[in-house]
Amino acid sequence: MRGRSRGGALTRILLTGFGSFPGAPFNPTRAIVRVLSRRNRPALQRAGIDLRVAILPVVYDAIEAALEDHIERNVPDIIVLLGLAAQRTSVSVETRAQNRLSIIHPDADGSLARRREVTPGHAPAMAARWPAAQLANAIRAVGVRARLSRDAGDYLCNQALYLALQKHHGLCGFIHVPLLRRKLPLCHNCFSGDVANHDLPTFAEVETAVARVLRHLAVEHRRVSGRK
């Protein structure tokens, strides 16, 4: 489904996050999406963005219908999906989705994927539809470590990206965020799992980085669509 162009109107962006799942009782993308919607909405509107947000279910059998519903109701020009990659220390701008699913990692309902492909018989991979290198540079410009990634995994993050690319033909991609650093003034060498605390970005830093990505994509959308 193609996002409608509304000449002269705001660029409509659908920003999604995920809830908790096995191994991640707190998923920061849920909070990032909600805070951006609440706190950054006026600034984003001034930048020409109509921000719509959604939290996707971490459930193999429910995510496709949820995506279709959010796309149908919001008719976005751009889709940006956020997910947690707890083993990474940098924000990862994904460049492709693969037509594969894990059959060993349970979802939030405790269920396993019933097949190995996101969409059986379709392309083995799909390229993210956005200027990934430029977005990574935009994230670095606000002081957050960022890298390009060619592997969105085989869990629901990859599934969501593959499905979104199938169902929406405008700008579309996925950003993985790492665990976030907690500001603990009495503990300057704290650890989150096996990753040194100082290697991780803070919530505020990632919030700022995502807002920068949204602004960059809105400009890119207006450029490619010929809108001012």
CATH number at residue 75: 3.40.630.20
pLDDT number for residue 77: 98
pLDDT per residue as tens digits for the range 195-211: 456 789 999 999 999 99
pLDDT higher than 70, residue 122: yes
pTM: 0.89
Confidence grade of residue 2 (pLDDT, cut at 50, 70, 90): very low
For 53-70, give one letter per residue: b (16+ CB within 10 A) or e: bbbbbbbbebbbebbeeb
Say if 3 falls within a structural domain: no
Confidence grade of residue 175 (pLDDT, cut at 50, 70, 90): very high
Say if 5 falls within a structural domain: no
pLDDT number for residue 40: 85
pLDDT higher than 60, residue 5: no
Say if 4 falls within a structural domain: no
From residue 79, alpha-carbon distances to 109, 112, 168 in Å are 25, 26, 8
Number of domains in the chain: 1
pLDDT number for residue 127: 98
Confidence grade of residue 128 (pLDDT, cut at 50, 70, 90): very high
Average pLDDT estimate for 65-86: 97
pLDDT number for residue 197: 66
Confidence grade of residue 45 (pLDDT, cut at 50, 70, 90): very high
* Angle at CA of residue 73, ends 72 and 77, nearest 5°: 70
Confidence grade of residue 8 (pLDDT, cut at 50, 70, 90): low
Which of 34-38, 70-74, 124-128 is least confident? 34-38
pLDDT number for residue 193: 46
From residue 65, alpha-carbon distances to 9, 68, 70, 160, 170 in Å are 28, 5, 9, 11, 19
pLDDT per residue as tens digits for the range 145-165: 999 999 999 999 999 999 999
pLDDT number for residue 181: 85
Say if 6 falls within a structural domain: no
Domain that holds residue 55: 11-225
Summary mean pLDDT of the chain: 90
| Start-to-end CA span in the chain (Å) | 24
Which helix (H) or strand (E) segment is 171 a member of?
A: strand 171-177
pLDDT number for residue 190: 33
Average pLDDT estimate for 164-192: 76
